[in-house]
Structure 1
Amino acid sequence: RPGAPAGCGAQPRSPGRVSGPGAAPLPPPIATSDTIFELGFEKALKKQNKEQVPPASAPEQPPRRQHHAGKSTRKASANDAGVKPGKCRSLEEALRALDLADLQKELDKSQSVFPENPSVWVKDLAGYLNYKLQAPRSDPLLSQHPHDYPYCLVSKELRSIIRSLLGRSAGVLELFFDHCIYTMLQELDKAPGESLHGYRICIQAVLLDRPKIATTNLGKYLEVLRSHQNRPAKCLTVLWALGQAGFTDLHEGLKVWLGVMLPVLGIKSLSPYAVAYLDRLLMMHPNLTKGFGMIGPKDFFPLLDFAFMPNNSLPPSLQEQLRRLYPRLKVLAFGAKPETTLHTYFPSFLSRATPSCPPSMKKELLTSLSQCLSLDPLSFSVWRQLYTKHLSQSSLLLNHLLESWDGSGKKALQETVRSFKVTNEELVARGSHRDQDVAACDAACQDLLRKMRGRGFPWSRLLLVLLVFAAGFLLHDVRTHGSFQASSCARLLRSSGVLPAVQHLCQKLSQGCLEGYRWLEQIVPACGSRAVAVLQPPLELLWAKSVEVALALSQHCSALLSWIRDDLPWASEWLWSRFPESLLHFAECVRELLLFLVRSCLLPLLEWAAAALERGWRHCLDSCG
């Protein structure tokens, strides 16, 4: 009887081949236990009915009698098992109607007849469950149900029976797992076909405690997928069965995905499930530490290409979904110690960062390259070895480092850029055919070196800050106490005996300034009018001549600069390379100090002096009447 449990006289199935169009030879899932069970069970039952003594073990029959034994088994099943139960409206209804006492009776009978052959026990369990749990077929992926369907519907009593039997059959669970998958593939070849809920429940029960069973022979199942590409239902059934291991253990789930799902990611009928499974796997295991070490460069970069490279075999929706998963895949690939592994990823990142790659991919590649350089010091040595081979990619990376420069440069980066500059000079001297790439790299190296030049301790700035702080403290002291005489500084100067001398000096200065101002008030107008009358004619002539000379000089200078830029491009580079670095550093410090003095001190001082002069002028006007 097709689909009956093995203990009820099931029709023997040939495990060596999956029939149907486009099928390929498959390796046998279980060895000689099939023959022992199918050939010996019916004869043992007849002998037990006559003698009331169960045999110690079923003798193994030679393989040449297998065909005749299958016929006798089918005849016996028609008399013993009765009519096949009809399909229930749902799996829940079929599970409620399952007679657990009858199941336990069949399992006890199988164990008593074959006490030393646990492969028969578990096969009998799977066959009985699949025969009794007949419900409408679902799609091979059970996409409308939770990830643990149909095992989540099994009652506690049935789970206890299943787990107890599997615990006593631990040595044959790997073969039993293969048997369930290949039997499901055989059922898919039949036109009406049975529903496969019993085998699915057994697969989930096995992998719930032993997830490593699914990953012991991934190469074999990959060959099954490749040989049945034109049968999507079979391929998806195999992927579903193997994928159940990942919902218990992230490590085994990643092993399944990398072993059988990543190789078929470009197949149109299988790609949606592969991406959806990865999404669900990473969602169910937010702690990624258990998956560290699973993804290496060999597996990571095909994923990067699938996620970012346009016009690949993935549709845009799946590519976008994979791109959302990419950050977590990157964490899994880099592992717990990226400072020791990132240099192995650097060559592939660098080779892909071409000027013509898509902008999103270029941004990700340059960010990853910067991360490699900042975390793993060995990446610099790898970059130096690959520099001449990847000049265009190196120019992109140098410009990216220049744009994202934050002032915290490493010594290894400075040494690397200096070595690149020496290599550029050698390439120019040899007349490399990639002059444009060499020039771009050399310009980026010069700009990066200019930014990375170190700065000494700013003593001048510190002294200036102290002076400004002292002046501010004095002003605050005077403002707080109302006048200089009542301030703390005045009391300090008075106690030290310096204040009288300071006051006398201030009086002399103010008196001298007032006298000088009065003298200037009388002398300046007369001298100014006389100077204007004497100097105006020659100054006007000098101004006219100066304008002519400046125009002529500017024309000559512009011509000279054009000649230098066009005919002597090496002069500026030679001058810059020979110019002492310390002098450049000194000039930069002087420039910054002058800017600081002008902005922080000179301008406020001029404003204060102007206000003081204005107050003094008004005071003088008021005092002079």
Structure 2
Amino acid sequence: MSSGQWEVVGKSKKSQNGKVKNKEEDKKSFKNGPKLEDIVPHSQIKSFYAGMEIDDEKKPQKKKDGKSKKSQDKKSSEPPKPKPPKTIEGALEAIDPIELANIIATNKVRFSNAPLVWLKEVASFLNSKTQIDVDDPTFSNYSSSYPLSVLPSEIRNSLEGVLQDAGKANAQLFFDVTLTALANDMSRGQSVNGHRILLQILANDYPEFCVASIQKSASLRNSYQNRPPIGLSLLWAFGQGGLNNFAVGLKAWQELFLPIIELKNYSKFVIVYLSKLLDEHASMDSTKVSQEQLLAMFDLVNNKRNSLSKELSSDLIKQLTKYKDIYFNRSGNKLQVTFNQIMKKLPNQFLIGPALDPYNRVLVESLIDCLQRDDACNATWRQLFQKCTKQSATLLDYINSHWAEVSKRLKLKSLKKTVAEFKEVGADALKGKKKDETVVKANKICQDILDRMASTRRFPWLWASFFLLLSIVGLVAYDVYTVNGNFPKSATGKLMNDLGLLEHSQRAWQKTLSSSARGYLWLETNAPIYYTQTVEVCKPYVQLSKELIVVGVKKTGVLYENVKVYVIEKTPVVVETIEQYAPGLVDKVQGYASNGYEAVKKFSSDYYQLTAEYLQTKVFVGEWAPEILQNKTQIALNATRTHVSTYFHWFREQVHIYSKIP
């Protein structure tokens, strides 16, 4: 403190020289110490390190090897992880039905008053279990009911059950919600296969859901039509109702498919869907097309065909042909109005040869169908000559150019009258100074058709030969009758005598009669003997056949009883199933059947009473009275019996006479 400054009091470390050293200086001094190369000769350094080498690389390697062995042992003890499914079928088969049932049951308990929550949870579960990328959202390479067709039955029953439990109103709301969810989830890149399956089930049970909200569906389609995968998925969902209901499928096609047929990404699918719809329902009796629907379809196709490529336009017109065939196959025979309307749809110009494009060809073929099924359409056609001259000429040219095919379908008598009258109308039009080229050509076509009908009248050789033979026999019989049955004195006999054929013909005829008479007598004598022997030989086999028939009848009876019991057992199940999917349908069918039976019974009874009364009061009176008819019938039977007996005796006498001729 004498210096006036603070001093630090502490112990200092001193070296041998009295200087303070820290640890860093010690390290430096160790590093800067003498090296082995400075002390030992260079030639001995190698020998100095001999036996002191440490393999630094082997030690850690051993540790690594030890760790890898442990990890391998650990992996071998673990079970192999299942490979994720690569297809929708595999994903659906991998779903545990018990897990799905538990989820449904849990949600029903937790949200007892919110069925939509159950269904949304089920959809989320299915989406999570079927995370499979789908390249084709319309499944064009599979059946129409795919992927529902590969859904395991247990899972399908659970899904159908929860949808039924939710009620029809909630199911319809869920259908619309799921359509929106399908589009939204696809836009976010999420899996939507669960949505697809649920939409299929709903469309299968309630086809009308697909067209219940046309405006909403169209708005949703317009929102995503610029994104083809989503747009095609929506169209696929809209069309599922048409698998079971033709009317629903047709309405969905006209309202939701057809408006975007001009878009390149949708054109093919729109036409393919219509083709499948028509093919699947064409053979069903419930498939019907009204006249208004047919005419509307003609207009729709005509408006859209020019905006498509040639190939797609051709495919669309092929579907139009199928559509009009369905109409005509179930339209009946009253087609005059249809003929009138279709004739007016043809262009007001004479279409001949290549000028008749495929669309107008369908119209002309429809007119042919009308003429084929309703002969009264010829009268309607004749009334349209003045208004539809060029259209009529087009139809006549088609008939003329396809005569071999069309002539078999039409009634030629009515067609001849129509063509002749059209020719007269054309002849009157040609009397003026200005001659219409169409009328000139049509007049020539009419003449060609009339010539065809004249040339196609084949001579009836078979009937002509029969009548000719009958006439010859009649003339010969009359000729012989005029000479009291003496054939040699008849003109025919004299002609044959002059030709030297009479004697030979008489001998041949007598020989034929003699042989036939002896053959008849032989049969009359020996036939009973051979018949008795045949019966004795065949009796065991006949008995065996009877026994086999009896056994077969008994087996058939047993089979019938088994089938009857099976039907009785399964009838309540079938009725319950029908009642589940279509409530009230069985009662309605029974009611209709009962009413129909009562109506048929009533009309049959009334008709029988009227018929019996009419016959009793108007027909079977006077000489036609039942008593008089009975007497006349008895007299006719007695006379017939007498004549037959007389003829039989005469026949036997003739046989004995001719049998004695050598």
TM-score by length of 1: 0.53
One-letter amino acid of the counterpart of residue 334, structure 1: F
* Contact 1:110/1:121 (8 A) holds in 2: yes
Aligned length: 402
After the TM superposition, which residues 576-595 of structure 1 pair with which residues of structure 2 at under 5 Å, given as runs? none
Q: Distance in 1 between matches of 2:400 and 2:315?
A: 33
Corresponding position of 1:330: 324
Per the alignment, residue 357 of structure 1 pairs with 355
- The one-letter amino acid paired with 1:351 is L
Q: CA deviation at 1:176?
A: 1.0
**Percent of pairs identical after alignment?**
26
Contact kept in structure 1, 2:301 and 2:316, CA below 8 Å: no
How far residue 266 of structure 1 moved from its aligned partner, in angstroms, is 2.8
Output aligned runs, 1:427-466, within 5 Å. 427-428=429-430, 435-445=436-446, 466=468
What SS does structure 1 have at the residue aligned with 2:263?
Answer: coil
Equivalent position to 1:383, from 381, 384, 402: 381
Query: Which residue number in structure 2 is paired with residue 120 of structure 1?
Result: 117
- Mapped pair 1:396 → 2:394: yes
Q: Kindly report which structure 2 residues correspond to 1:152-163, keeping only aligned pairs within 5 A, or say none.
A: 152-163=149-160
Evaluate the alpha carbon distance shift between residue 116 and residue 284 of structure 1 in structure 2; reply closer, same or farther with a 3 A threshold.
same
Residue aligning to 1:167: 164
Alpha-carbon offset, residue 273 of structure 1:
1.3
Alignment equivalent of 2:234, drawn from 235, 238, 254: 238
Aligned 1:24-43 pairs, distance under 5 A = none
Q: How far off is 1:90 after superposition?
A: 4.2
- SS of equivalent residue, structure 1 residue 195: coil
- Which of the numbers 195, 198, 204 marks the counterpart of 1:202? 198
- 8 Å Cα contact 1:395-1:437 kept in structure 2: yes
| Cα distance in structure 2, aligned partners of 1:326 and 1:492 | 74
Q: With the length of structure 2 as denominator, give the TM-score of the two structures.
A: 0.50
Which amino acid letter does the alignment assign opposite residue 270 of structure 1? Answer: Y
Q: Could you say if the C-alpha distance between residues 326 and 504 of structure 1 is closer, same or farther in structure 2, counting changes exceeding 3 Å?
A: closer
Relative to structure 1, is the Cα distance of residues 289 and 187 closer, same or farther in structure 2, using a 3 angstrom cutoff? same
The residue number in structure 2 matching 1:551 is none
CA apart distance, 1:293: 1.7
C-alpha displacement at 1:241, in angstroms? Answer: 0.5
Whether contact under 8 Å (1:300, 1:333) holds in the other structure is: no
Residues 438 and 139 (structure 1 numbering): CA distance in 2 closer, same or farther, change over 3 Å? closer
Question: What is the one-letter code of the residue matched to 2:264?
Answer: K
Describe the superposition over 1:36-56 as per-residue Cα deviations: whole angstroms up to 9, x where unpaired. xxxxxxxxxxxxxxxxxxxxx
1:281, CA displacement in angstroms?
Answer: 3.5
Distance 1:144 1:398, change over 3 A: closer
1:483-516, Cα deviation, whole Å (9 max, x unpaired): xxxx9x9996555466898799999xxxxxxxxx
Q: Provide the residue aligned with 1:147 in structure 2.
A: 144
Shift of 1:381: 4.8
Whether 1:298 and 2:292 are equivalent positions in the alignment is no
CA drift at 1:240: 0.7
Aligned residue in 1 for 2:175: 177
Cα distance, 1:177 vs structure 2: 0.8
What is the RMSD of the two structures over their aligned residues, measured on CA atoms?
4.7
Structure 2 CA distance for partners of 1:343 and 1:450, relative to 1, 3 Å: farther
Partner of 1:187: 185
**In the alignment, is residue 253 of structure 1 matched against residue 249 of structure 2?**
yes
Q: Aligned-pair distance for 1:418? A: 5.5
Shift of residue 114 of structure 1?
3.6
Unpaired runs of 5+ in structure 1? Answer: 1-85, 475-486, 508-625
Matches within 5 A, 1:514-533: none
Please give the secondary structure, in 2, of the residue aligned with 1:439: helix
Aligned AA (2:436): D
User: Are 1:88 and 1:136, in contact at CA under 8 Å, matched by a contact in 2?
Assistant: no
CA distance in 1, matches of 2:497, 2:271: 91
C-alpha separation between the residues in 2 aligned to 1:351 and 1:232? 37
Letter in 1 for 2:381: W
Structure 1 residues 472 and 279: alpha-carbon distance in aligned structure 2, compared to 1, 3 A threshold: same
SS in 1 for 2:346: helix
Corresponding residue number in structure 2 for 1:579? none
- Are the counterparts in 1 of residues 333 and 373 from structure 2 also a CA contact under 8 Å? yes
Equivalent AA in structure 1 for residue 244 of structure 2: T
Q: How has the CA–CA distance of structure 1 residues 429 and 155 changed in structure 2, closer, same or farther, with 3 Å as cutoff?
A: same
Q: Distance in 1 between matches of 2:101 and 2:88?
A: 20
Matched residue type, 2:439: V
Equivalent residues of 2:294, 2:324 under 8 A apart: no
Shift of 1:442: 3.8
> In structure 2, what is the equivalent of residue 289 of structure 1?
285
Is the partner of 2:322 in helix, strand or coil?
helix
SS at match of 1:269: helix
Q: Which residue of 2 aligns with 1:535?
A: none
Question: In the alignment, what sits opposite 1:516?
Answer: none
Cα distance per residue 1:510-564 (max 9 Å; x no partner) = xxxxxxxxxxxxxxxxxxxxxxxxxxxxxxxxxxxxxxxxxxxxxxxxxxxxxxx
Letter paired with 1:441: A
**Which has the higher Rg, Structure 1 or Structure 2?**
2
Name the structure 1 match of 2:366.
Answer: 368
Stretches of structure 2 lacking an aligned partner (at least 5 in a row): 1-82, 501-662
1: CA distance between counterparts of 2:231 and 2:143? 20
Of 214, 218, 239 in structure 2, the residue corresponding to residue 218 of structure 1 is 214
1:74 match: none
Tell me the residue number matched to 2:101. 104
SS in 2 for 1:270: helix
Inter-CA distance 444–281: structure 2 relative to 1 (3 Å threshold): closer
